[in-house]
Amino acid sequence: MLPVSNPGTPSPIKPASPESRTCPSCRISISLSGSHQSRTMCPFCGAFYNQRANSDFSMRRNSSVANGYLPHIDDITRRHSSIGERLGALQGYLAGLILRTSHENQFYLPPVDKDRDAKDNADAGQLTPGSSDDDSLDYPVRNMDIESYQTLLEDYKTKDNFTPLQEFLEQTFCCFVEMSSVFKKDPKQENARPEDPDIKTELLFEVYDSLDSLPGFITKSILKAIINSLLELDVRLMAKDDVRSLYMLLLNPIFATQASYTVFAHLIHRVVSLPSPDHQLLLHWFTRTDASRTRELVKRLLQFITIREFPPANGHRLPSINKSRWWIPCATRVLALLNAANNRVSPPLLEYAEFYNSALDHINLMAEYYRWQTPEKSNKFSYCQYPFILSIVAKKFILQRDSEQQMILNARRSLLNRALQHQVPDIDVFFLNLNIRRAHLVSDSLNEIARKQADLKKKLKVTFVGEPGLDMGGLTKEWFLLLIKRIFSSDYGMFVYHNKARCYWFSTVKIGNLREYNLIGVLMGLAVYNSIILDLNFPTACYKKLLSPPVVPANVDTTNVGNCELTLDDLSEIMPDVVLGLRELLAYEGNVEEDFLMHFEASVDEFGEVKTHILKEGGEQIAVTNENRQDASSRRGGVTRVWMAQTRFRSSPQSDRL
């Protein structure tokens, strides 16, 4: 095993190419194409690209602190040192990564304290740019390629000569320096790019794919080497080589066995402990990782959580739960990183159901829910912080139990109010009582719901006027079925059923009464709240609009619900034929104006009625050409129809508060 080179600082940043720019703080390079051409600050760490601007900013900040305008960050740190000791390295949590943004990069403020930032960089195993040591850092030269590695494998299989292969694997994984020397495309590269990890992917996966065929003693030697690399925290590395090495180790299939879980736990602990810019860098790399490799990593993390949550009696002995309580939060936060990367890609690399952990259906889900609802009391990890990991069964159970308890709470509050007002208790105060006439189904439902807004969170009870009987659940289901059938019928004209997509969407021919759209929102909320399944199929775009904005402000009544951007992929779930035509229009290489004979207008046929929408002013006279077809595709057909649904979503924010 070759010794690590004499430590020193990396040489000054090499001038970036005219097409890219490298941050002097975090050493991440971005392309200057498109929206990045005029960028002056790094989107990963918030530092200025201009070194002089960074110095001026530091001087102004230090002057402000010296003059007493702001408290020093160390004072705050000392006051909360006990919390910091308990959290340890987990303070770099990944909760913010589960929120999907519409921007390619995220922005961060410059570091508050220079010494603190330098300490974070040192903890991450990299050099700070401001170091004054003039010694350059040179990695050992490792001329390994796929052919050379296959030769080592062939010698092992044919000649039973495993020593060269074992020595190579031990040496490669013993430290991050060796991993970078072998797998990095250019070991002398001093920065990182978000669009490419710059590693020899084919060689890396050739090594990983061969591990299953190797004997156990070689696997154990590799694990020991990885332990050594994870323990070496003070090794001098090129910028971001620690992040690059952790990325490669995460993809290693050696951690699929239970015997390797202790090492795997410390690996994901190192990943969680990275600063936010490095998390963003990993996120970008995972968006470009092969889907099969990401899928295997997700499976390993889910199995890791399951085994730690439910240790098998006859399996490999794991550390006690008191000593390894941090395993599950770390693994879940790495899953959050992968889930965020998956959501950034359109279409996603993995199905959302592949992040489900069905084993969690058997834990105390309500305890997890209450821990999540009362963070000021418990301040502990909860699976509900990461809903992508909970299956539909678990989410349904939580919703049902929470609804039942809210019903009891509201009924108790109503009974107490009657007692305080010296009124005779009545069993009707426990329910949301709806008295409906069958001949006036829609109007009576609208009026009853409007009059009894305060009782919507009580258990639903329906009575059909003139029909004796007690509602034990059957009348409620009948009311839902009759009302849904009436509102969604073609005669009513509020919604159109698309046969090919097998889903409902808003009609563009008949607008309808907004109160009736509000009723639809209330119906869906009441159905979920009362655990009733409705046979309604809406496309993903509908729920995407309902879930925007992701964080609802305090004044819900004025919230602009449904204001989100929908893509052609979203539209393809509603009108696949329209999207197919638009994509053919964009990909056509001939003369669009002469061959397509299209204008900036779209005709819609609903309920036997054809309506033409003008996509822009004077659009009926504007021909679609090769030059303006991009504009036409963004306006034509479905994009216009999606925009027309905006007012319907604005009519239902009150109903969705259920």
CA distance 191 to 24: 9
The DSSP secondary-structure symbol of 463 reads E
Helix, strand, coil share (%) of the chain residues, nearest 5: 55, 5, 40
pTM of the model: 0.73
Give Cα separations from 511 to 492, 493, 641, 644 (angstroms).
11, 8, 12, 9
Please name the residues in contact with 364: beta carbons below 8 A apart, sequence gap of 6 or more.
none
Q: Contact, 109 vs 46, CB < 8 A?
A: yes
Q: Give 511-562 pLDDT, tens digit per residue.
A: 666 777 888 888 888 998 998 888 888 888 888 877 776 665 555 556 666 6
CATH number of the 426-538 domain: 3.90.1750.10
| Both tokens assigned to 129 | 């740019």
Least confident span in 24-28, 202-206, 305-309: 24-28
**651: confidence class by pLDDT, cuts 50, 70, 90:** low
Q: Which pairs count as long-range contacts for 324-330, CB under 8 Å and 24+ apart, including other chains?
A: 324/265, 326/88, 326/90, 326/265, 326/269, 327/261, 327/265, 328/381, 329/90, 329/272, 329/381, 330/90, 330/265, 330/268, 330/269, 330/271, 330/272
**What was the pLDDT predicted at 560?**
65
Least confident span in 44-48, 218-222, 260-264, 455-459: 44-48
**What was the pLDDT predicted at 552?**
55
Mean pLDDT of 250-262: 94
> Mean pLDDT over all residues of the chain?
78
**What was the pLDDT predicted at 322?**
84
Instruction: With a cut of 70, say whether residue 390 has pLDDT above it.
Output: yes
**205: confidence class by pLDDT, cuts 50, 70, 90:** very high
Do 426-538 and 575-646 have matching folds?
Answer: no
Q: Give 58-79 pLDDT, tens digit per residue.
A: 555 454 434 443 344 344 334 4
CA distance 239 to 234: 14
High-pLDDT (> 70) share of the chain, %? 74
Q: Give 138-179 pLDDT, tens digit per residue.
A: 888 888 999 999 999 998 888 888 899 999 999 999 999 999
User: Domain segments of the chain: what residues?
Assistant: 141-254, 256-355, 426-538, 575-646
**What was the pLDDT predicted at 46?**
66
CA angle 177, 183, 186 (to 5 degrees): 85
**613: confidence class by pLDDT, cuts 50, 70, 90:** confident
Instruction: With a cut of 70, say whether residue 584 has pLDDT above it.
Output: yes
Q: Give 315-344 pLDDT, tens digit per residue.
A: 678 888 888 889 999 999 999 999 999 999
The DSSP secondary-structure symbol of 456 reads T
**112: confidence class by pLDDT, cuts 50, 70, 90:** very low
Mean pLDDT of 584-607: 81
CATH number of the 575-646 domain: 3.30.2160.10
Residue in 310, 421, 291 with CA at minimum distance from that of residue 358: 310
